[in-house]
A and B are shown apart, each in its own frame.
Chain A
Amino acid sequence: QQPVQSPQAVILREGEDAVINCSSSKALYSVHWYRQKHGEAPVFLMILLKGGEQKGHDKISASFNEKKQQSSLYLTASQLSYSGTYFCGTEGGGAPGGGADGLTFGKGTHLIIQP
């Protein structure tokens, strides 16, 4: 079942913060986050595993709440380069499959950063 992302779209000024949420109705083993710019392929940001810790690099981080089957992506002090559509992809079953069965993606969150 497709995870639900919120919000659907957000417009920010450069330097502001944003949070994107991803919720699933089924038990998850991992949550992947990707960013896609218009006309390009999705690009990997990070993976959060069941039982793992919050991850982050630069000013982008994410968390995974196993009890609620939710993940959140945090973008701090946003830059113009952060604009794009963010997708979460989930790997279900509650057990490791290495992602070999493919991911179920949400419909995406459109992020627009204005100068």
Chain B
Amino acid sequence: NAGVTQTPKFQVLKTGQSMTLQCAQDMNHNSMYWYRQDPGMGLRLIYYSASEGTTDKGEVPNGYNVSRLNKREFSLRLESAAPSQTSVYFCASSEALAAPSYEQYFGPGTRLTVT
């Protein structure tokens, strides 16, 4: 049981390049999330998927797109990377969909630098 896995672990991009961050979970969770973490800012929600087939914007969605490929996988795409997108990106998943609220399980993160 690997939990939440993310690839790649590290990435350096030049401004304007594109890339996709991959996330997969093997816990049969319904909900999946993408957060970014910047120094002093905490974790901020980019996009989430409450269930397979649905995606919604979070607090900071500009410059990103997502795809919920199936129940296991949720990818984050940067179409034209900018230096402001330099950050650590965390994917998370939870059972969710019903009360009470459920804990979120985080992946190990992807450290992205845009030059």
Pick the interface stretch among A13-21, A66-74, A76-84, A92-100. Answer: A92-100
- Name the prevailing secondary structure of the B interface residues: loop
A103 to B46, CA, bound (A): 11
Say yes or no: B50 contacts A100, CB within 8 Å: yes
Report the Cα distance A44→B94, complex, angstroms: 11
B109 contact set on A, CB distance < 8 A = 41
Which of B44, B58, B97, B107 contacts A100, CB < 8 Å? B97
We find that the number of chain A residues with CB closer than 8 angstroms to chain B is 27
Given A41-B108, A42-B106, does the pair A47, B100 have CB atoms closer than 8 Å? yes
The minimal Cβ–Cβ distance linking B106 to chain A, given in whole angstroms, is: 4
Whether A32 lies near B103 (C-beta < 8 A) is yes
When chains A and B are docked, how far (Å) is the Cα of A10 from the Cα of B14?
Answer: 38
B74-115 interface with A by 8 A CB criterion: 90, 94-109
A91-114 interface bits toward B, Cβ cutoff 8 Å, 1 = contact, 0 = none? 100001111111111111000000
Residues in chain B near residue A30, CB distance under 8 A = 100-101
Nearest residue (CB) in A for B100 is A49
Please indicate the chain B residues that have their CB under 8 angstroms from the CB of A103 in the complex.
43, 45, 104
* Residue ranges of B at the interface with A (Cβ–Cβ < 8 Å): 30-31, 33, 35, 40-45, 48, 50-51, 56, 58-59, 90, 94-109
Question: 3 smallest A-B Cβ distances: which pairs?
Answer: A96-B99, A100-B96, A100-B50
Q: A98-B97, A105-B44 are in contact. List 17 more A-B contacts (CB 8 A).
A: A30-B101, A41-B108, A42-B90, A43-B106, A91-B101, A96-B99, A96-B100, A96-B101, A98-B100, A99-B101, A100-B31, A100-B94, A101-B48, A102-B33, A103-B104, A105-B35, A105-B43
